[in-house]
Structure formats: C-alpha cells, structure tokens
C-alpha cells in the first residue's frame, strides 16, 4: 500500500492488517484442531477449540470498531475506503469460519464409537481441502494476489463435489443399518460445516478481487452442492 500524507492513517491500516493476520492464524489452528478432534474423538482438544472461539469474536469486534472509527476520522475514498470495508468483511468471514470449526469440534462429544475407515478417510480429505482453501485465500489477502484468490474461488466446486460424495455415503450407511443414524447425522453436520467453510473462503476471495480491481467478479459463483435436491431410494 502507498504511504499517505497523514502517517497516522497508515498506522491505522497497518493495525487492521496485523489484527486480521492474527485472526487468520488463530482460525487456521482452530480448524486443524477441530478436524483432528473429530477424527480422533479427542474431547480435550475439542474443548480447547470451543473455549478459544471467544478470542476470535473479540478480535472481530475490535477490527470492526477500529475500522468504523478510521472511516469517521479520515473519510477515506476509492482504494482507501475499499481497504477498510474489505477488512470488515474479511474479519466477518474469518469469525464465521471459527464458529464452524467450533461447531465441528462440538460433534466430538456426541460420537462414542470409532468412525468407519471409509468415512474417516473422506472427512479427512474434505478437511485437508478446506484447510488448503483457507490457507491459500489468507495468503492471497496478505499479498493482495488476485490470481491466487481466483484459484481459491474456482476450487470451491471441488469441495462441494466431495461433500456430495460424503453425503451420499452417509445416507447409505444410515439406510443399511438404523443403528448408524446417530453417528452419521453428527458426521453430516461436521461435513456440512466444512462445506460452509469453503463458501466463506470463496467470499474472502471475492472481496480480494473487489479490493484489487474495484469491481465484483462478473462470473457466476461455481457451485456443485446438490444435497438440497438429492433424493434416496429405500430398497
């Protein structure tokens, strides 16, 4: 970012950027721990994820308050205004990703039996994909890299496709044996949380594009989640 005549303004923007980087680091760790806790049924680690969520909430509120105060004091325009507005939007998406990580961790308490190997592998793959999207989009924001942001934006359909596959497999397990319903229901919620994390990383990617170019993406958002319309046959 170019230096401004008012040095205090640069300091305010730098503070916002530093706080967002801190939020990003926390949420990456939260997501990693939530996935690990669920796959290993580690309730101690799950509780650590749940307890730390308040830290993300506090950071989001502070970023929003600082951003609004900066707008009121400096009355920024054009690129400067976009910088602040995007910081508010990105912090909101990061906070929501933290909520979804927390909700995923909570499922650990409801699962008492080992996960079937195929389901465990599918969820692990989905978690790795969601983590990759999150890391890449946060890196893109830090570097103001539109190409990397757009790569994340386009890759979300891969996460959706994997979610569809896991959704079908979980339904199959439930239909084959009603005793699987409780376990599979909690895993469905966990998988949906990961799919929603992909949606929030896509939001961040769109905001990076807007920050750099001053306009929204003209293409339709890639989306392959068809579970809302999926039907099953009971044989």
Domains of the chain: 7-229 (1.20.58.220)
pLDDT of 6 strictly over 80? no
Mean pLDDT value across residues 131-139: 97
Residue 78: predicted pLDDT: 83
Q: What is the pLDDT, as a whole number, of residue 4?
A: 54
pLDDT-derived band at 112, boundaries 50, 70, 90:
confident
**Separation CA 112–CA 146 (nearest Å):** 44
Please give the model's pTM, rounded to 2 decimal places: 0.90
Could you read off the pLDDT of 27-68 as tens digits, one per residue? 999 999 999 999 899 999 999 999 999 999 999 999 999 999
d(CA 127, CA 159): 9
pLDDT tops 50 at residue 140: yes
| Range 146-165 average pLDDT | 95
More confident residue, 152 or 75: 152
Tell me, what's the pLDDT at 161? 94
Of the listed ranges 49-53, 150-154, 179-183, 199-203, the one predicted with least confidence: 179-183
pLDDT of 235: 45
154 pLDDT more than 60 = yes
Q: Give Rg (Cα) of the chain.
A: 20
């Amino acid at each position: 970012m170019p230096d401004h005549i008012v040095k205090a303004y640069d300091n305010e923007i730098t503070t916002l950027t530093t706080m967002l980087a801190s939020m990003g680091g926390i949420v990456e760790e939260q997501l990693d721990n939530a996935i690990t806790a669920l796959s290993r049924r580690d309730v101690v680690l799950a509780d650590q994820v749940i307890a730390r969520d308040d830290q993300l909430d506090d950071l989001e509120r502070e970023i929003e308050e600082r951003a609004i105060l900066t707008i009121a004091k400096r009355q920024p325009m054009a690129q400067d205004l976009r910088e602040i507005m995007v910081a508010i939007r990105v912090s909101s998406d990061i906070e929501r990703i933290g909520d979804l990580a927390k909700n995923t961790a909570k499922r650990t308490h409801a699962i008492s039996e080992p996960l079937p190997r195929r389901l465990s592998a599918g969820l692990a793959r989905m978690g790795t994909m969601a983590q990759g999207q999150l890391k890449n989009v946060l890196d893109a924001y830090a570097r103001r890299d539109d190409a990397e942001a757009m790569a994340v934006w386009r890759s979300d359909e891969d996460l959706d496709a994997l979610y569809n596959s896991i959704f079908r497999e979980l339904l199959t397990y439930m239909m084959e044996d009603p005793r699987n319903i409780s376990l599979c229901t909690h895993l469905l919620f966990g998988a949906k949380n990961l799919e929603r994390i992909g949606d929030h990383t896509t939001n961040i990617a769109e905001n990076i594009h807007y920050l750099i170019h001053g306009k929204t993406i003209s293409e339709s958002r890639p989306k392959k989640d068809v579970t809302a319309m999926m039907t099953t046959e009971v044989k």
